[in-house]
Chains A and B, each alone.
Chain A
Amino acid sequence: MQRRRSLPDVLAGGVFAVIGGAFVVGSLGYDRGTPLRMGPGYFPLLVGAIVTVLGLAILVKGLVAGSDLPFDAVSWRAVALITVAVVFFGVFVRVLGFVPTSFVTALLTAFASRRVRPLTALAVAAGLTVAATLVFIVGLQLRLPLWGW
């Protein structure tokens, strides 16, 4: 059989193995109990081990006989901007208030597209902020300060 290495398979297997392994290590710290009265650690240990084993199986299979999936170039700009935009909202909504936080989140997100023009992004962000305020604050009566200062 021809050896076909597959980056997506190895990567997916690695992610499963690492997360599964982390849960296995974590669940060792909880009481395992007995099969009769399972403690809080029993079930996560079992499932964590299954995830780890499946992850390793996918990884090994990816090294020997991987599937040929297309792996398109990542848009790092989109990944970075959208992650920052989402986290920004969580951190600042209470500090800055609803309107400025929504605006910045929408603006950062709009710039995730490589083809957006700055003026368009500003217009989209402003429009969405108004829409969000109408829907969530006026319509749904969400109790959040509009402005933080």
Chain B
Amino acid sequence: MDLFDNLVLGLSTALLLENVLYCFVGVLLGTAVGVLPGIGPTATVAMLLPITFSFEPVTALIMLAGIYYGAQYGGSTTAILINLPGESSAAVTALDGHEMARRGRAGPALAAAAIGSFVAGTVATVVLAVAAPPLAEVALRFGPADYFALVLFGLIVSITLARGSPLKALAMIALGILLGTIGQDIYTGTPRFVLGRRELYGGIDFVSLAVGMFGIAEILRNLEHERDRPALLGQVAGLWPTREDRRRIVGPILRGTGLGAALGVLPGGGHVLASFTSYAVEKRVSKRRSEFGHGAIEGVAGPESANNAAAQTSFIPLLTLGLPAHPVMALMVGAFIVHGITPGPDVINDEPELVWGLIASMWIGNVLLVLLNLPLIGMWVRLLRVPYQVLFPMIVLFAVIGTYSLGFNEYDVYAIAFFGLLGYVLIKCGCEPAPLLLGFVLGPLLEENLRRALIISRGDPTVFLSRPISAALLLLTGAALIAIALPAIRRRRETVFTEDD
């Protein structure tokens, strides 16, 4: 009954008044940024990270996690009501959800999304609780060579899932790794690429990088052509789905949950892939294929369940291996480190209250989200009337102050401006920012384990091939690279993602 004991421990931590409160704050903020187009969970978590430094570690992580999965809920509201995905994974929801809203069925669409998300979130939390301990057990046996291979594998796989040109995604990852080498070398203490500035010895702060790339660059993109937001569709009336609706959403929710829970573990945008895959599956198995694109409730329930399940299970690699699967997870690695905890397989044994408290809080968060999203839907609809002209100065100002408060180092602030401009140019040229952030966070791990593995093996590079785990992972990495390069697979990838653009 290990699982049971763990969950009891987790619930006793998560149900502390303070933790419930910050879980609520997290999902509330998450829903808000999910609803509002133009600001996503990555920028929000980056901005709020400095604020959480004074909290207990578990409280901080509960709140940050709440922002992440709360945003998946909120994104669907915007997608359904104004046909603008607040979050990339909600793009599919807009297809049928907005059609339903145009036919005066916004209520059932929102309800299907919320119910699907709740079921998926609950099931995926259990999956997380069951899968995490054995995986961490395996990971404890990893040596430096295995870790090197694992990080490399994660980075390359994240490309196969990313949108756009794989060549550019690869370059973004490598650039991220390169930027991660700025600062003092871990083995010799030599300051690298610091341009003679003491302020850069500690390296570039990942908060500056994330705020610049995801916050400022996005604002500059939005200010290229300022349009009015598409009009809101009337009032939301009749929230409760009909009996027919309820019968039709059961299958999609269950299939979406399964798909999402499985795909969420993959690094880099597993939740986006999950919602697209779920939509494709529902369209294929449905007897009413012609209704898809014209307001089929299955097309809302399936993908919404899938992306929410994926949002929960994407914590698995973070909690068991210390590897982030998503830029928000990368920021959470930073939150672990600030609180003096090295993310990795030891965490689950050394800090059980932290891990199980976080997992249990996700279930509480899901309950809070249903309460927040169904009865209070009117409040979120009103939030959509906040003009962008108020929103973006707020993002910039809070981001700048928050980053400065990290270490009272004005170079962190200059870095925001630099990465905002760099990110703007690169995103404009068709490069996704997420691989760069993953490379930046994982780059130092890659270098450290590469060098350590070679020191242990006395400079023998075959160590990467003689250890079975490392050899298998490197083989898979090679296979993934070949798969990206093969034109047939590239075409399939494009068809999966074209609807997203």
Contacts and interface: CB of A to CB of B under 8 A. Distances in A.
A106 B224 contact: no
Contact of A142 (B225, B405, B443, B454): B405
B170 A54 contact: yes
Given A8-B428, A44-B178, A50-B174, A87 B417 contact: yes
Given A51-B174, A78-B220, A83-B421, A38 B430 contact: no
A36 B193 contact: no
Contacts of A106: 393, 396-397
B248 to A, nearest CB: 38
A51 B54 CA distance: 38
Contact of A44 (B192, B219, B226): B192
B394 A128 contact: yes
A132 B398 contact: yes
Contacts of A30: 185, 190, 192
B216 interface: yes
Contacts of B411: 90
Given A12-B430, A102-B397, A110 B459 contact: no
Contact of A74 (B219, B224, B392, B401): B224
Given A58-B171, A102-B397, A110-B393, A36 B431 contact: no
B461 A35 contact: yes
B82 interface: no
Interface in B406-442: 410-411, 413-414, 416-417, 420-422, 424-426, 428-431
Contacts of A55: 171
A102 to B, nearest CB: 6
Given A35-B461, A109-B392, A86 B400 contact: yes
A102 B401 contact: yes
Interface in B163-181: 165, 167-168, 170-171, 174-175, 177-178, 181
Contacts of B429: 8-9, 11-12, 15, 69
Nearest to B430: A69
B401 A136 contact: yes
| Among B185, B397, B411, B421, residue most surrounded by chain A Cβ atoms (within 10 Å) | B397
Contacts of A67: 165, 430
26 contacts: A8-B430, A15-B426, A19-B178, A30-B190, A30-B192, A37-B454, A40-B187, A43-B450, A47-B177, A47-B443, A71-B428, A72-B225, A73-B225, A74-B224, A79-B220, A82-B396, A85-B400, A86-B420, A87-B417, A90-B410, A110-B389, A112-B392, A113-B388, A115-B226, A128-B393, A132-B401
B222 to A, nearest CB: 9
Contacts of B392: 109, 112-113
Interface residues of B, number: 64
A85 B394 CA distance: 12
A51 B436 CA distance: 12
A115 B390 CA distance: 12
Interface in A90-132: 90-91, 93-94, 102, 105-106, 109-110, 112-116, 120, 124-125, 127-128, 131-132
A9 B425 CA distance: 11
Which A-B residue pairs are the 8 nearest by beta carbons? A36-B459, A90-B413, A12-B429, A40-B185, A90-B410, A78-B223, A8-B429, A54-B171
A50 B431 CA distance: 17
Contact of B417 (A40, A86, A135): A86
Task: Please classify how large the interface on chain A is, using the bins under 10, 10 to 19, 20 to 34, 35 or more.
Answer: 35 or more
B397 A26 contact: no
Nearest to A51: B174
A5 interface: no
B290 interface: no
A84 to B, nearest CB: 9
Interface of A: 8-9, 11-12, 15-16, 19-20, 23, 26-27, 30-31, 34-41, 43-44, 47-48, 50-51, 54-55, 57-58, 61, 67, 69, 71-75, 78-79, 82-83, 85-87, 89-91, 93-94, 102, 105-106, 109-110, 112-116, 120, 124-125, 127-128, 131-132, 135-136, 140, 142
Interface in B191-235: 192-193, 216, 219-220, 223-226
B404 interface: yes
Contacts of B167: 54, 57-58, 61
A113 to B, nearest CB: 5
Contacts of A39: 188, 190
Contact of B220 (A11, A26, A35, A75): A75
B51 interface: yes
A135 to B, nearest CB: 8
Contact of A112 (B192, B223, B422): B223
B454 to A, nearest CB: 6
| Among A27, A43, A71, A142, residue most surrounded by chain B Cβ atoms (within 10 Å) | A43
Nearest to A19: B175
B500 interface: no
B140 interface: no
B458 interface: yes
A86 B396 contact: yes
A37 B450 CA distance: 11
Contacts of A114: 223, 226
A57 to B, nearest CB: 6
B455 interface: yes
Given A9-B430, A86-B420, A110-B389, A47 B425 contact: no
Interface string B275-288: 00000000000000
B187 to A, nearest CB: 7
Contacts of B226: 113-115
